[in-house]
């Protein structure tokens, strides 16, 4: 059977998903085997085509799919995928991916393809190479207003340094596939490996690129402009963040309505395991200044003085996973989506092996944290594999016609009757929508609905993995992912190598459910980040919807809590313990515009951290207070 015949067969059957059950005990939240794609490996176990799809069941695809290429190297990124698909101004879909050309790990390049508004591919079922380096990989892309693609990746050149370095390749004309590559100048002239680059296109045609050093050398940021007289990129000197700020997760975004740019990354928590999410915004996009970075999550570290009360001594029981999606909406507000597993420091890590939550935060409502996806199931002991959780890899976008926000993510199917022969689960792709600027999110719609046959052999799995979504939604969500035919991720030792389709998936927004709404639990943070700017957002207005820090804090036994309303509202102000149990209702009823202050008496409570939560309609705000007796 020819590869094109197999392509057509797979295109008909494309959706995927399944789960593998391998229970195991608490594990620490440590980095995964960090891959640069440049490691020397023995050839992995491999299963070659033709593959068999005789037992596919439960296929209920939402939207349409098209195979745009293949790859033996399914592992697109270590963590957050970034933007590998762009809808340009002329309605073309432009896509990039890491293409493993054989079952080994060495012959690997960046490939590019496009799809015309009429649905015609530039290089049908195959794509075209972007670079000619050794083992190029870990790519993302941005496109300028003229439709010219700027593709970033890291590479190692045949001559010169053997360290991998980030580079940017620019298409000579829109959608020609004739790329001209410039390596980003080394930081301070040092031959260090700066890899896993991300790229965003500014309104002035300049690009922002960030890379991470794999040897704790920090995270670099640079601005670049294509010089059409020399056919190369001109870059500004790189700015460096401290090593502890940057791990394997980094993301950038640029506004379409101003010159604002932003970045987000994982940051180690001092004196504790796991990571926070940190971010920064530069309003003019000209001087990349990290003095204004802030802690988005600010998780409370353990406090051993509270022992033997282990619940209180653990501090916050969430930590950031290496996922963060950054996006500026059509009104110039920044949005951040991120993933958190449950973390119990004193117990040594994650008690709930695959459990995870996907959250949303926006500059528009800086005191709100809303849940996008709830994949927290303590009873389920199915292992999702190394450094993987049940719901992960969020990617944000917006339909400017409606203002609706969309978040695409991967979620594993934990049905133990649908699991690969290697013992690994398969992934599904879901999309959640917010019709109120991110205040609430609908439960995700499963757009793939594939079922991997029980004990499926390599070539018979349907695991949608490593997804990326275009940030512009035009009545359709545009998604790129790998259809992994043996679930797990062979480059990190899970599953075997297969020749996997690279799938473009178009999903009409009319088929994405806007209800029911995901219930949001209390988000435990030490303190909430301030509004980023007085330009977008109304957080600085005196009569805005707001919840203020109690005073005094710490307190014993009474404290004052103040909240503000911009409209007459039916409100409820409640107090919870760290287990999420409600212990008091301070306010319940209709209140007028302006600020209101109430007293809380903790005489009957034990010392510890408590959450107070303000609710008004579908809006909620939470803060922490500390009772010390």
Q: Is the pLDDT of residue 402 over 90?
A: yes
pLDDT of residue 528 exceeding 80, the answer is: no
CA 382 to mean position of chain CA atoms: 22
pLDDT beyond 90 at 273: no
- Phi, psi torsion values for 537, nearest 5 degrees: 90, 155
Instruction: Tell me how far CA of residue 384 lies from CA of 46, 454, 496, in angstroms.
Output: 21, 16, 16
Distance CA 364, CA 331 (A): 10
CB atoms within 10 A of CB 554: 13
Give the pLDDT confidence score for residue 53 in this predicted structure.
Answer: 58
Could you tell me the pTM of the whole model? 0.80
C-alpha R_g of the chain: 24
pLDDT, tens only, 258-272: 888 999 988 888 777
Residue 601 — very low, low, confident or very high, per pLDDT cuts 50/70/90? very high
Q: How far apart are the first and last CA of the chain?
A: 76
Q: Domain residues of the chain, as ranges?
A: 3-113+241-511, 546-627
Residue 86 to residue 139: CA distance in whole angstroms: 13
Residue 525: the pLDDT is 54
Mean pLDDT of 452-460: 89
Q: What is the pLDDT of residue 531?
A: 39
Of 277-291, 405-419, 428-442, 523-537, minimum mean pLDDT range: 523-537
Examine the pLDDT at 524 and tell me if it is beyond 70: no
- Write the DSSP symbol of residue 527: S
Rounded Cα gap, residues 43 and 77, in angstroms: 20
Average pLDDT over residues 532-558: 66
The answer, yes or no, to whether residue 529 has pLDDT greater than 80, is: no
- Averaged pLDDT of the chain: 83
What's residue 214's pLDDT?
59
Smallest CA-to-CA distance from 469 within 195, 123, 63 is with 63
| CA 207 to each of CA 194, 302, 487: distance values in angstroms, whole numbers, following the listed order | 17, 40, 35
Q: How confident is the model at residue 67 (pLDDT cuts 50, 70, 90)?
A: very high
Q: What is the pLDDT of residues 313-361, one digit of tens each?
A: 877 888 898 899 999 999 999 999 999 988 888 877 767 888 899 999 9
Mean pLDDT of 115-137: 93
CA 342 to chain centre: 17
When pLDDT is averaged across residues 52-70 and rounded to a whole number, the result is: 75
At 412-426, the pLDDT tens digits run 998 888 889 988 899
Residue 29 is predicted with a pLDDT of: 45
> Predicted confidence band at 157 (pLDDT cuts at 50, 70, 90)?
confident
Instruction: Check residue 325 and give its pLDDT.
Output: 96
Closest to 246 (Cα-Cα) out of 268, 225, 224:
268
Cβ-based neighbour number of residue 309 at 10 Å: 13
Give the model's confidence band at 227: pLDDT under 50 very low, under 70 low, under 90 confident, else very high.
very high
CA trace torsion 39, 41, 45, 47 (10° rounding): 50
Residue corresponding to tokens 């619940």:
311
| Composition of the chain by helix, strand, coil, percent to 5 | 5, 45, 50
Residue 178 confidence (pLDDT): 96
- Assign a CATH topology to domain 546-627: Immunoglobulin-like (2.60.40)
User: Which secondary structure element, helix H or strand E, spans residue 7, and what is its range?
Assistant: helix 3-13
């Amino acid at each position: 059977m020819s590869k094109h015949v197999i392509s057509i067969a797979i295109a008909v059957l494309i959706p995927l998903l399944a789960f593998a059950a391998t229970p195991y005990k608490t594990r620490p939240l440590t980095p995964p085997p960090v891959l640069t794609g440049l490691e020397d490996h023995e050839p992995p176990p491999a299963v070659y085509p033709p593959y068999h799809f005789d037992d596919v069941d439960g296929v209920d695809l939402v939207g349409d799919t098209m195979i745009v290429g293949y790859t033996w190297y399914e592992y697109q990124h270590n963590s957050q995928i970034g933007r590998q698909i762009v809808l340009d101004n002329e309605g073309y879909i432009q896509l990039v991916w890491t293409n493993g050309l054989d079952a080994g790990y060495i012959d690997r390049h960046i490939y590019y393809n496009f799809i015309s508004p009429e649905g015609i591919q530039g290089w049908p079922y195959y794509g075209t190479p972007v670079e000619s380096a050794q083992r190029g990989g870990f790519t993302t892309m941005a496109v300028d207003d003229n439709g010219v693609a700027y593709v970033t990746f890291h590479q190692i050149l045949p001559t010169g340094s053997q360290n991998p370095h980030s580079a940017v390749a620019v298409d000579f004309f829109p959608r020609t596939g004739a790329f001209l590559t410039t390596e980003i100048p080394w930081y301070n002239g040092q031959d260090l490996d700066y890899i896993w680059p991300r790229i965003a296109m500014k309104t002035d045609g300049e690009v922002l690129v960030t890379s991470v050093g794999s040897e704790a050398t920090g995270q670099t940021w640079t601005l670049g402009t294509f010089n059409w007289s020399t056919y190369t990129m001109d870059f500004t000197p790189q700015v460096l963040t401290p090593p502890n700020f940057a791990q394997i997760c980094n993301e950038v975004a640029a506004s379409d309505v101003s010159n604002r740019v932003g970045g987000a990354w994982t940051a180690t928590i001092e004196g504790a395991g796991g990571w926070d999410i940190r971010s920064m915004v530069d309003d003019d996009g000209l001087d990349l200044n990290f003095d204004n970075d802030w802690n988005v999550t600010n998780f409370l570290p353990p406090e051993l003085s509270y022992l033997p009360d282990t619940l209180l001594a653990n501090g916050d029981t969430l930590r950031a996973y290496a996922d963060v999606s950054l996006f500026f909406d059509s009104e110039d507000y920044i949005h951040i989506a991120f993933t958190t597993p449950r973390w119990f420091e004193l117990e040594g890590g994650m008690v709930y092996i695959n459990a995870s939550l996907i959250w949303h935060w926006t500059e528009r409502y800086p005191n709100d944290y809303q849940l996008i996806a709830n994949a927290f199931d303590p009873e389920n002991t199915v292992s999702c594999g190394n450094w993987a959780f049940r719901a992960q890899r969020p990617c944000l976008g917006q339909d400017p016609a409606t203002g609706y926000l969309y978040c695409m993510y991967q979620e594993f199917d934990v049905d133990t009757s649908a699991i690969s022969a290697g013992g690994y689960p398969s992934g599904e792709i879901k999309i959640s929508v917010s019709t109120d600027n991110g205040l609430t999110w609908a439960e995700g719609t499963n757009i793939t609905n594939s079922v991997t046959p029980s004990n499926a052999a390599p070539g018979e799995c349907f695991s949608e993995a490593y997804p990326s979504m275009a940030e512009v939604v035009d009545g359709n969500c545009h998604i790129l992912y790998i259809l992994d035919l043996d679930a797990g991720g062979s480059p990190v030792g899970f599953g075997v190598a297969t020749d996997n389709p690279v799938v473009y998936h178009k999903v009409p927004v009319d088929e994405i459910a806007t209800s029911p709404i995901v219930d949001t639990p209390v988000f435990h943070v030490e303190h909430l980040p301030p509004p980023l700017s007085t330009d977008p957002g109304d957080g600085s207005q005196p009569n805005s919807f707001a919840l203020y820090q109690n005073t005094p804090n710490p307190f014993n036994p009474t404290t004052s809590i103040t909240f503000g309303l911009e409209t007459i509202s039916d409100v409820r102000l409640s107090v919870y313990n760290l287990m999420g149990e409600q212990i008091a209702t301070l306010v319940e009823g209709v209140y007028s515009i302006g600020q209101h202050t109430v007293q809380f008496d903790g005489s009957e409570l034990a010392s510890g951290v408590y959450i107070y939560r303000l609710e008004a309609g579908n809006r909620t705000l939470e803060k922490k207070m500390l009772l010390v007796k």
